[in-house]
Chains A and B, each alone.
Chain A
Amino acid sequence: MAAVETKEKVAALGEKYKYGFVTDIEMERAPKGLSEDTVRFISAKKNEPDWMLEWRLGAYRRWREMHEPKWGRIHYDPIDYENAYYYAAPKSMAEKKSLDEVDPKLIETYNKLGIPLSEQKLLAGVAVDAVFDSVSVATTFKAKLNEAGVIFCPISEAIRDYPELVKQYLGSVVPVTDNFFATLNSAVFSDGSFVYVPKGVRCPMELSTYFRINAQGTGQFERTLIIADEGAYVSYLEGCTAPKRDENQLHAAVVELVALEGAEIKYSTVQNWYPGDEEGKGGIYNFVTKRGDCRGHRSKISWTQVETGSAITWKYPSCLLRGDDSVGEFYSIAIANHFQQADTGTKMHHLGKNTRSRIISKGISAGHAQNTYRGLVSVHPRAANARNYTQCDSLLIGGKCGAHTVPYIESRNKSARIEHEATTSKIAEDQLFYCLSRGIPQDEAVSLIVNGFCREVLQQLPMEFAVEAQKLVGISLEGSVG
């Protein structure tokens, strides 16, 4: 007995990824593999109108002719797209139910993740859409948001209930043919969130989607579409976790943001997919396309991301600065430990006059990890007086990891002003010793120093999540020194 207990205690000590559990729940899946039938199956499951099915099939046919991009600084064994499930949903969720009727097992899963789905227990002022594998299982505060005219629902519902809005905007920022993973997503996406904030409305609460991968052998293909109409404001946050498994699971999401004249969208991500174990076994392959369109004058889109999870991260949240005087921002923390690989950054396309963009990237590498910042700032000939400021800081912990900065700058207008600053540093031995000598243990010291390094980015997160993100930064790097 005592031996078992000790063993459990030791196991718990080594348990740095606390979201690695599996929910035992009966699932309904699409047949394994990817074909037109798979696409039809998913579309039928969602009771989609014909136009949506056609859109998906078009994407699928196109995808068949495409190839995986190879330009990232990431290495992995070929993904077998035929050996995966593209749809998995709890059987108890065959029909979407009201919040009180959601399967208690799912409620419990989200409780364990620290996301209580009961509205009374929720963080005040945050509405949550909970996506479990391929379906949304609950969306909170819908009624309250409706009063303000804000639509916040699973995208599968939006396709049925707001077809005109979806038709108008879906694929308008990330075209179906954009890239291999986005096209795949367009064919098989299952759920994600839809947000519409009407003219002049400031969304009364933070919106949040919590993505959970649970089923084995299954990919998650979420699709999110957020539209801020003229003069509207919305702040949205997504969180993600997955069980610990030895296999690699694919997550290929597409997020599209549209900001009309004078609108502002603040999009924050805390990505904590299972990163794989200390030898690099398992973990999520995170291939994500995120793009925001500042379609109207004086609009603003701000991306903030804290990327601590996934075996591979490949994502470049971007801004199309089409409206005059529009503003794009990208604040990023990417942490790669053990054998994680991160190739992430942003693209800022200056198309309108007086457009401004700001890029602050903080990359932290530890263990054997490789961390690449890849970014593009492009200024169109018509984009007079464009301004960009880019700051890329890399922090190395230990001598076996790597940090790479790959900035591309394309300026075709003489009035553009582009600034780029980059630094690479190591956690200095004297900083660590200083903390230790003040009684701060090693892991806490690393967390403190790294959080300091990331401060400018952490400050961008909504307050409710900033504390959580700070802890996550510390946990991701535990044991990385000494």
Chain B
Amino acid sequence: MLEINNLHVAVGGKEILKGLSLSIAAGEAHAIMGPNGSGKSTLSYVLAGRDGYEITSGSIRYRGEDLAAMAPEERAAKGMFLAMQYPVEIPGVTTMNFLKTALNAQRRARGDKEIDALGVLRLVREKAKALHISEDMLKRALNVGFSGGEKKRLEILQMALFEPTLAILDETDSGLDIDALRIVADGVNALRSPERAMLVITHYQRLLNYIVPDRVHVLYAGRIIKEGGKDLAHELEAKGYAEIIREAA
């Protein structure tokens, strides 16, 4: 599904990722853990295609295609989804309108028939319920005045709505209390399937108690320094990053 090979990425001329390799197959969930400044967010942005994140060498293949050649909106239409650490506010655009516009833009790009307003409303309502997202929230401007938890739940709602093939969750646990964390994790787990892959990027092990990964990778200074099964997350929690980094050095 996703093949990252010796990836180097620079932001503003400064190299952040320095030879990262990673391979995720359909049906798998991988976790990337790393301390602040290790390059976690850079990885998520380069995967989603944000401007200013320059691939200086190496390659990313997504479903067999060269990802770098795809525009961000094309990646979305081809099933890639990034749940962002800091969802963006768009004043004046209702959440519902945003969801409808995005869903239909993706469908249009894939050559599928667009869904009318009523159809989208029905679909969104059904998915919103499980995430405890109120009707009122859908009527408000996108992310404007939303609490941290509301913003994160809305990211997961979008994920449920778009049914991506590869979902990247960037620090989805940050700013969530334990109840919100459980709701979000349930939403993510409901989407796990043999056709779908997930990449969970997180600082803490906490989220991985709920979304249990098949593989865990430790990212430090732009490189994967250690890999293992789900137990690696617990080891990391127990020892701390400093210890693991020293061991790997």
Name A residues whose Cβ lies closer than 8 Å to a Cβ of B: 428-431, 433-442, 444, 448-449, 451-456
Q: State whether A436 and B93 are in contact (beta carbons under 8 Å apart), knowing that A441-B105, A448-B98, A452-B141 are contacts in the complex.
A: no
**Contact of A433 with B76 in the complex, beta carbons under 8 Å:** no
**Contact of B109 with A449 in the complex, beta carbons under 8 Å:** no
**Contact of A452 with B102 in the complex, beta carbons under 8 Å:** no
**Contact of B105 with A440 in the complex, beta carbons under 8 Å:** yes
Contacts of B51 in A (CB 8 A): 429, 433
Contact of B109 among A434, A439, A451, A455 (CB under 8 A): A439
**Contact of B102 with A439 in the complex, beta carbons under 8 Å:** yes
Bound: A442/B105 CA distance, A: 11
Contacts of A444 in B (CB 8 A): 101, 105
Closest chain B residue to A441, Cβ basis: B73
Contact of B76 among A438, A449, A451, A454 (CB under 8 A): A438
**Contact of A449 with B48 in the complex, beta carbons under 8 Å:** no
B12 to chain A, nearest CB (A): 13
Contacts of B89 in A (CB 8 A): 431
Contacts of A454 in B (CB 8 A): 92
- What would be 26 A-B contacts, judged by CB atoms less than 8 Å apart? A429-B51, A430-B86, A431-B88, A433-B48, A433-B72, A433-B88, A434-B84, A434-B87, A436-B72, A437-B49, A438-B73, A438-B105, A438-B106, A439-B77, A439-B105, A439-B109, A440-B102, A440-B105, A448-B93, A449-B90, A451-B93, A452-B93, A453-B91, A453-B92, A454-B92, A456-B92
Bound: A444/B88 CA distance, A: 17
Residue B166 interfacial (CB < 8 Å): no
Contacts of B91 in A (CB 8 A): 452-453
Which of A434, A435, A451: most chain B CB closer than 10 A? A434
A342 to chain B, nearest CB (A): 21
Contacts of A439 in B (CB 8 A): 73, 76-77, 102, 105-106, 109, 162
B119 to chain A, nearest CB (A): 17
Q: State whether A448 and B90 are in contact (beta carbons under 8 Å apart), knowing that A438-B102, A438-B158, A439-B106 are contacts in the complex.
A: yes
Contact of B50 among A433, A440, A441, A452 (CB under 8 A): A433
A445 to chain B, nearest CB (A): 8
**Contact of A449 with B73 in the complex, beta carbons under 8 Å:** no
**Contact of B92 with A451 in the complex, beta carbons under 8 Å:** yes
Closest chain B residue to A433, Cβ basis: B50
Residue B71 interfacial (CB < 8 Å): yes
Contacts of B90 in A (CB 8 A): 431, 434-435, 448-449, 452
B51 to chain A, nearest CB (A): 7
**Contact of B87 with A437 in the complex, beta carbons under 8 Å:** no
Bound: A454/B87 CA distance, A: 22
Closest chain A residue to B79, Cβ basis: A439
B28-53 contact mask (Cβ, 8 Å, vs A): 1 or 0: 00000000000000000000111100
**Contact of A440 with B88 in the complex, beta carbons under 8 Å:** no
B214 to chain A, nearest CB (A): 25
Residue B82 interfacial (CB < 8 Å): yes
Bound: A449/B84 CA distance, A: 19
Bound: A439/B106 CA distance, A: 5
Bound: A439/B84 CA distance, A: 14
Bound: A19/B106 CA distance, A: 30
**Contact of A436 with B92 in the complex, beta carbons under 8 Å:** no
Contacts of B92 in A (CB 8 A): 451-456
Contacts of B87 in A (CB 8 A): 434
Contact of B72 among A428, A437, A452, A453 (CB under 8 A): A437
Bound: A149/B106 CA distance, A: 52
**Contact of A440 with B93 in the complex, beta carbons under 8 Å:** no
**Contact of A440 with B73 in the complex, beta carbons under 8 Å:** yes
Bound: A428/B75 CA distance, A: 21
Bound: A297/B240 CA distance, A: 75
B14 to chain A, nearest CB (A): 18
A328 to chain B, nearest CB (A): 24
B93-120 contact mask (Cβ, 8 Å, vs A): 1 or 0: 1000110011001100100000000000
**Contact of A430 with B88 in the complex, beta carbons under 8 Å:** yes
Q: State whether A434 and B141 are in contact (beta carbons under 8 Å apart), knowing that A439-B106, A440-B102, A441-B73 are contacts in the complex.
A: no
Top 10 nearest A-B pairs by Cβ distance?
A452-B92, A439-B76, A452-B93, A455-B92, A439-B106, A438-B102, A436-B72, A434-B88, A439-B105, A440-B105
Bound: A42/B109 CA distance, A: 55
Contacts of A433 in B (CB 8 A): 48, 50-51, 72, 88
